[in-house]
Structure 1
Amino acid sequence: MIVMNEDKIISGNNAIQPEYETYKPTVKKVKVKKNNRKKQTKHKIKVMRNIGIVFVIGVVLIARYSIIYNMQMQLNSTQNRVDKINKQNENLTVELVKYNNLGYIEDTAINKLHMIQPQKSSAVYADLNKTIIKEDPSKDKKKINSILDKVKQFKWR
């Protein structure tokens, strides 16, 4: 018997109502499995991509917060240093006021340094507007000449 249609295989007598056996090709099953595998791999890739994106976002957020924390720590340390320096300045101004007192200065000069108060008759007045030491202009010329001589000697070597 020649089979004309592969989908309908007749077995038995044609007078009795034949029972049809459906033929399912195995090729379709393989294609379905391949399609399922492709879908599964695409789904796995999407899941891995989403996990990667969440991981990167988490790392960026943690890095950002760590930078902010470090900057806050630096700000606190600089504020502490500024406070210490301000306290030192206040202490120095208090000491300056203490030493600025004329009575304290006289007491220290007389008792610690054994100084005596000058008398008006022993005072010597000097005119500080006049120049006492005169500069010798020939020294400048000698310096220039000596420098030129050194350069000439260095040049001709």
Structure 2
Amino acid sequence: MIVMNEDKIVNGNNAIQPEYTEEKRIVKRKRTNKNKVRNKLRVIRNIGIIFIIGIILISRYSAIYNMQMELNSTQNRIENLNTENGNLMVELVKYNNLQYIEDNAINKLHMIQPSKASVVYVDLNKSIVKQETSDKNNKKFNTVLNKLKQFKWR
């Protein structure tokens, strides 16, 4: 008999369970143990990858949710400002009426209509307000100079 592959040596009848030598059993156990360890490492690696992907997806969805909440609150503030702006426009139109202003002046502020006899004409081309000279600054400056001069001559 020619032996082609030593791993598959069978002693005895093929109908009976083949007998393997003890060395071959140990090699076979080591191979199966290595395969089991590799399979466990693959499973752990795959679980880790799936866990990391899940965390990334959840964080992304939470960021999207937060942005949506900010958008909704901003839209609510815009709507509130628009309604307030509309109310202010209505009040502005109400106060723009000359009759309303006149009634408030007469009734609330007790103003009276001016007569033609009480009119005073003023010439606005003349400058009535005198310009103030900066004597205060000059006096302060002069006193400081005087003190310095006295200090120098002592």
Query: Quick check: TM above 0.5?
Result: yes
Aligned to 1:94: 90
Question: Is there any run of 5+ residues in structure 1 with no aligned partner, and where?
Answer: 1-6, 8-21, 153-157
Which residue of 17, 23, 30 corresponds with 2:26? 30
One of 106, 119, 123 as aligned partner of 2:102: 106
Residues 39 and 141 of structure 1: CA distance in aligned 2, closer, same or farther (over 3 Å): farther
**Change beyond 3 A, Cα 1:128–1:55:** farther
Q: Which moved more, 1:131-140 or 1:104-113?
A: 131-140
1 or 2, which has the higher strand percentage? 1
Match of 1:49 among 41, 45, 50: 45
2:136 matched residue in structure 1: 139
| TM-score, normalization by structure 2 | 0.73
Tell me: CA distance 1:112–1:141, structure 2 relative to 1, closer, same or farther (3 Å): same
Report the Cα offset of residue 108 of structure 1.
Answer: 0.8
- State the AA in 2 paired with 1:139: K
Gaps of 5+ in 2: 1-8, 10-17, 149-154
| Change in 2 beyond 3 A, CA 1:126/1:142 | farther
The 3 A distance-change label for structure 1 pair 120 and 56 is same
Q: Distance in 1 between matches of 2:70 and 2:19?
A: 79
Q: Distance in 2 between matches of 1:99 and 1:42?
A: 85
Aligned letter for 2:96?
N
Give 1:68's aligned residue.
64
Question: Does residue 126 of the first structure (1) align with residue 117 of the second (2)?
Answer: no
User: In angstroms, what is the RMSD of aligned CA positions?
Assistant: 2.5
| Higher-RCO chain (CA-CA 8 Å, sequence separation at least 6) | 1
**What SS class does the counterpart of residue 90 from structure 1 fall into?**
helix
